């Protein structure tokens, strides 16, 4: 721990203990938006492999994959990644290769991550892999596990998973109870590794990044550059302040955020947004995010339940919406959503498109125009239309999401920046150069803070903006001639 404190000190950070939160990461110097607070390679990580969609164990790529011929579980895109992982995989491979076919099928990414955790500890103990202040098993020992908060069913599951890990490792000095506790640590400490566009690729354990606590109004953001976790400030953070990221989607209502935080991380958030729970502002916000729209289509009021529970009253114009009317639309949406889920999972985008358009129609009748459910449907429609290469319609839905994103996310939020980026790319493709410049400029403003400026992803975005500017001046000059 002392070694870690020294290593953090040079980065302008320290670890302190708070009675209500446990360890916290504190600044010892002022930080500015876009500044890297801390970055860390994973102690262990695994790609989110499925049987039908494997990824490379080194870089998580889906291209040019070859299966490890010995264990038949792990994939690589080439010798560079294979070499990078070799010290660890050599041992893992020997262990996995001994499993019968049926057992091999039950080796999920989480099981593999645990196997790798113990193998890395072994290799570090034997000094085959070096140890640093930010890369050692002692840091894993410090992670919270919340074992006493976990219900019986979950404990049984962890015990079963621990037995499988034990069977794979076949090492006498490993304690099954400790493995089960480590599964619990994974659940509240591991991070989903996403690409620059926030698409999940894998899961990793970053024991120093895991010291950072949660706030629904965070001052920092976690993004990944390959497997490297990078935490950047999204606002000015004064000296002696706590670094805070969000563990959940901050677009959700207070009740939903609190529910997720309680179920997965076992705490009640007391951030400035959460302490307002039950107050008028928070009730209004939840009614907008999750509630219904006014019967009068021209009214933008939000609705609250009537005291006699017969319906919902618009808080702007007083019109009442009948409970039965609402129940009917809710049930129609539910039936359509169930069907839509099946059609997207069975890769029928045309059918999914029709279903989601019908859902959107009903949600527009039912929900407030800033509702999260409507926003999620627009996101889904955008995704399907992109898949179908229906650029013009895709742009329509991308544009619809922006005002909602602007409302539900803070100014420097990666999702907002990425949505502007998508808009800009679509506008560029459709020849709307001036609009594209506006959208790409907004994307740059946000993403240079959340993603930095030096990554290939950002360089590509900056190049696209440059191209759009060049195209615009070419258009201007040809019009003048």
Ligand X SMILES: C[S@@+](CC[C@H](N)C(=O)[O-])C[C@H]1O[C@@H](n2cnc3c(N)ncnc32)[C@H](O)[C@@H]1O
Residues that bind ligand X (CB under 6 A): 20-23, 143-144, 146, 188-189, 210-211, 213-215, 265-267, 269
Residue nearest to ligand X (CB): 22
CB-nearer residue toward ligand X: 273 or 469: 273
Question: What's the min distance (Å) between Cβ of 144 and ligand X?
Answer: 4
Tell me if 231 sits within 8 A of 36, measured CB to CB.
Answer: yes
CB-nearer residue toward ligand X: 25 or 77: 25
Count the residues in the chain. 481
CB-nearer residue toward ligand X: 40 or 210: 210
Question: What's the min distance (Å) between Cβ of 272 and ligand X?
Answer: 11
Nearest to 436 by CA among 391, 469, 481, 392: 469
CB-nearer residue toward ligand X: 7 or 455: 7
Question: What's the min distance (Å) between Cβ of 22 and ligand X?
Answer: 3
207 CB-near residues (< 8 Å, 6+ apart): 40, 43, 134, 139, 140, 142, 143, 189
CB-nearer residue toward ligand X: 188 or 386: 188
Question: What's the min distance (Å) between Cβ of 256 and ligand X?
Answer: 16
**14 bridge partner residues:** 26
Tell me if 372 sits within 8 A of 353, measured CB to CB.
Answer: no
3-state secondary structure of 233: strand
CA 155 to chain CA centroid, Å, is 26
CB-nearer residue toward ligand X: 16 or 132: 16
**15 bridge partner residues:** 25
**What is the distance between the alpha carbons of residues 117 and 125, in angstroms, rounded to a whole number?**
12
Give the ranges where 68-172 is alpha helix by DSSP (H).
79-97, 101-105, 109-125, 137-141, 152-169
3-state secondary structure of 481: coil
CB-nearer residue toward ligand X: 21 or 376: 21
Give the ranges where 265-390 is alpha helix by DSSP (H).
280-290, 323-345, 349-366, 372-387
Q: What is the DSSP string of 89-119?
A: HHHHHHHHHTS-HHHHHT--HHHHHHHHHHH
Question: What's the min distance (Å) between Cβ of 258 and ligand X?
Answer: 11
CB-nearer residue toward ligand X: 22 or 200: 22
Distance between first and last Cα of the chain = 70
Question: What's the min distance (Å) between Cβ of 23 and ligand X?
Answer: 3
CB-nearer residue toward ligand X: 124 or 215: 215
CB-nearer residue toward ligand X: 22 or 411: 22
CB-nearer residue toward ligand X: 145 or 201: 145
Question: What's the min distance (Å) between Cβ of 41 and ligand X?
Answer: 17
CB-nearer residue toward ligand X: 21 or 104: 21
Question: What's the min distance (Å) between Cβ of 88 and ligand X?
Answer: 24
Which residue in the block uniquely carries the two structure tokens 């609250």? Answer: 304
Question: What's the min distance (Å) between Cβ of 7 and ligand X?
Answer: 17
Element (H, E) at 9: helix 2-9
Question: What's the min distance (Å) between Cβ of 211 and ligand X?
Answer: 5
Question: What's the min distance (Å) between Cβ of 404 and ligand X?
Answer: 26
192 CB-near residues (< 8 Å, 6+ apart): 200, 202, 203
Question: What's the min distance (Å) between Cβ of 418 and ligand X?
Answer: 24
Q: What is the dihedral of CA 393, 398, 400, 403, to 10 degrees?
A: -160
> How does strand 220-225 pair with strand 228-233?
antiparallel
Long-range contacts at 134-137 (CB < 8 A, ≥ 24 apart): 134/4, 134/7, 134/40, 134/207, 134/208, 135/41, 135/43, 137/43
Tell me if 470 sits within 8 A of 437, measured CB to CB.
Answer: no
Which residue in the block uniquely carries the two structure tokens 């034997």? Answer: 126
């Amino acid at each position: 721990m002392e070694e870690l404190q020294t290593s953090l000190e040079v980065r302008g950070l320290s670890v302190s203990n708070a009675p209500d939160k446990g360890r916290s990461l504190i600044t010892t110097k002022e930080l500015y938006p876009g500044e890297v607070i801390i970055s860390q390679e994973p102690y262990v990580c695994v790609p989110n492999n499925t049987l039908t969609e494997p990824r490379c164990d080194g870089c998580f790529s889906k291209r040019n994959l070859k299966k490890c011929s010995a264990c038949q579980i792990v994939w690589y895109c080439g010798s560079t990644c294979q070499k990078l992982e070799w010290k660890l995989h050599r041992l893992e491979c020997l262990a996995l290769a001994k499993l019968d076919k049926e057992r091999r099928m039950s080796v999920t990414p989480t099981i593999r991550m645990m196997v790798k955790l113990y193998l890395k500890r072994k290799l570090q103990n034997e000094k085959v892999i070096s140890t640093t202040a930010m890369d050692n098993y002692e840091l894993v020992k410090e992670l919270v596990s919340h074992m006493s908060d976990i219900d019986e069913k979950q404990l049984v599951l962890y015990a079963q998973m621990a037995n499988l890990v034990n069977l794979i490792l076949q090492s006498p000095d490993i304690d099954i109870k400790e493995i089960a506790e480590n599964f619990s640590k994974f659940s509240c400490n591991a991070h989903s590794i996403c690409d620059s566009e926030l698409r999940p690729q894998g899961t990793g354990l970053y024991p120093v990044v895991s010291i950072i606590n949660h706030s629904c109004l965070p001052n920092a953001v976690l993004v990944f550059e390959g497997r490297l976790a990078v935490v950047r400030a999204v606002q000015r953070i004064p000296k002696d302040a706590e670094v805070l990221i969000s563990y959940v989607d901050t677009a959700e209502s207070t009740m939903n955020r609190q529910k997720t935080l309680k179920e997965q991380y076992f705490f009640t958030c007391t951030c400035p947004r959460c302490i307002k729970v039950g107050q008028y502002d928070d009730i209004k916000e939840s009614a907008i995010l999750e509630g219904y729209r006014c019967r009068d289509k021209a009214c933008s009021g939000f609705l609250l339940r009537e005291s006699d529970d017969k319906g919902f009253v618009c808080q702007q114009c007083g019109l009442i919406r009948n409970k039965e009317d609402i129940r009917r639309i809710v049930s129609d949406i539910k039936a359509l959503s169930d069907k839509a889920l099946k059609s997207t999972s069975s890769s029928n985008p045309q059918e999914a498109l029709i279903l989601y358009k019908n859902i959107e129609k009903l949600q527009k009748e039912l929900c407030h125009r800033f509702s999260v459910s409507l926003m999620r449907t627009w996101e889904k429609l955008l995704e399907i239309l992109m898949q179908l290469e229906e650029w013009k319609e895709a742009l329509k839905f991308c544009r619809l999401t922006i005002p909602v994103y602007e409302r539900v996310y803070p100014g420097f939020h990666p999702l907002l920046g990425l949505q502007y980026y998508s808009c800009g790319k679509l506008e560029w493709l459709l020849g709307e150069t001036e609009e594209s410049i506006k959208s790409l400029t907004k994307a740059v403003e946000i993403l240079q803070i959340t993603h930095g400026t030096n990554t290939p992803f950002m360089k590509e975005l900056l190049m696209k903006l440059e191209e759009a500017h060049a195209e615009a001046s070419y258009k201007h000059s040809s019009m003048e001639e």
